[in-house]
Structure 1
């Protein structure tokens, strides 16, 4: 039987994942997922896509307290603070060594610093004009409805694809590097357009494979930096993204067609 293997929530964008045994899934994804974000003094959003500025966020723990609709943040070596308070801004500013603010209210236009890998094959065709190893400031969407997504409401990987990537790479790959919401115990990724039922209530539809950036190669907690992973991804996972062009992808996005609660161990069915 194919099952839901893991559930991971990211209450603060680009902070460490919260590992769950069950959660509610609504039209905009996991309850409490990516509802807060850090912003720099120049107004750009905090994202691991520029690790020089934001890589240390991956070491910050974030916990969503549903009963109070609050997010508790813990910087290594410091006491927990509540997102949206001066104490949280101070803790994150000290940790990142510059003034930042933590907010759940997006500005009218959201921009990010994006560092482009210099590994051949890691630049998608729709960004052919960027310089490998260079940085751009890009406008991003997905925050107008109170969620700070890069694209879709759910990001998923499968155990089969992760195992295959480990074989290609010559060593096991921690799925944490891809920051998924759900890890499905399936032999391979489904195709765009396929519908996946999880448990009794939730129905998802696969939309697009997920283009990869520099994030899988940087350190994630106990998982050290591994720049060679980008070479493996580019060599084996550069594909055509429908409507966009070729890109190096791993995992996939999905839309939520039917909402409900899911639990680790729930059966997965293809419809």
Structure 2
């Protein structure tokens, strides 16, 4: 894993799980991941969290990707705002999602004993892999929002697609103190195909990833040492 992997191009945080996120210039990172990331979720009466799929912990709730969430200030100690499809903050997130989803058994809830994360705390995606997806589905608008990474890494010219696979088992330094260990990739689901804001629905996205890379795309990471990440930080192996 020699050489510099790349630089941080974009930082994404998703205060309310399965909604559109917010772009950040910098953020603190600890063992749980980005401060405030997926700290809230839409939870139903059975304790399942709104998602793009049905599993033991998650309940498919179509339409959440048309909403966005953000923290109104720099602190994540207060609940995040929920924004409607027009980008307008709603006064009562729980009341709004009940009307929006047509369900009276849901609420916007803070994380308790059960994690809101699908798998590991951080998802890292490279521009090399993202560019490959764009080329594989010409005519379909694609950007990193379809894959919901926390960190988009700008890789050097000539970097091959799915380079993230080469990082597994290794550790990287980002900025001054932050250290990540790359563990494995995410197994993708239909959420990558779903419409959100200006990205239309398309089954071709997941199909391309399935055929080329066994439904897997990104690098999931754990936090070895906390720190801060900033746009422009170098990502390099240690």
- Going from structure 1 to structure 2, the CA distance change for 1:105 and 1:210 (only over 3 Å counts) comes to closer
Give the match for residue 97 of structure 1: 102
For 1:263 and 1:183, locate their aligned partners in 2 and report how far apart those are by CA, in whole Å.
Answer: 11
| Post-superposition CA distance 1:121-175 (Å, at most 9, x none) | xxxxxxxxxxxxxxxxxxxxxx53xx41011000111001111222223356211
Give the match for residue 70 of structure 2: 63
With normalisation by structure 2, the TM-score equals 0.85
Task: Give structure 1 stretches of 5+ with no counterpart.
Answer: 107-142, 239-247
Give the match for residue 268 of structure 1: 235
For 2:137 and 2:76, locate their aligned partners in 1 and report how far apart those are by CA, in whole Å.
Answer: 43
> SS where residue 257 of structure 1 aligns?
strand
C-alpha displacement of 1:235? 1.1
Conserved in 2, the CA contact under 8 Å of 1:32 and 1:66?
A: no
Task: Give structure 2 stretches of 5+ with no counterpart.
Answer: none
C-alpha displacement of 1:55? 2.4
The structure with the largest strand share of the pair is 1
Give the match for residue 145 of structure 2: 176
Give the match for residue 259 of structure 1: 226
Structure of greater relative contact order (alpha carbons < 8 Å, 6+ residues apart): 2
Moved over 6 A (4+): none
Root-mean-square deviation (Å): 2.2
- Going from structure 1 to structure 2, the CA distance change for 1:33 and 1:68 (only over 3 Å counts) comes to closer
Counterpart pick for 1:35 among 34, 39, 63: 39
C-alpha displacement of 1:105? 4.1
Counterpart pick for 2:133 among 165, 177, 184: 165
Give the match for residue 75 of structure 1: 84
Give the match for residue 3 of structure 1: 7
For 1:52 and 1:69, locate their aligned partners in 2 and report how far apart those are by CA, in whole Å.
Answer: 27
| Post-superposition CA distance 1:176-214 (Å, at most 9, x none) | 101110011123324311211111111111001111111
For 2:59 and 2:29, locate their aligned partners in 1 and report how far apart those are by CA, in whole Å.
Answer: 33
Conserved in 2, the CA contact under 8 Å of 1:75 and 1:92?
A: no
For 1:201 and 1:46, locate their aligned partners in 2 and report how far apart those are by CA, in whole Å.
Answer: 34
Counterparts of 1:13-52 in structure 2 under 5 Å?
A: 13-49=17-53
Count of residue pairs the alignment pairs up: 220
| Post-superposition CA distance 1:83-131 (Å, at most 9, x none) | xxxx22111111112121111143xxxxxxxxxxxxxxxxxxxxxxxxx
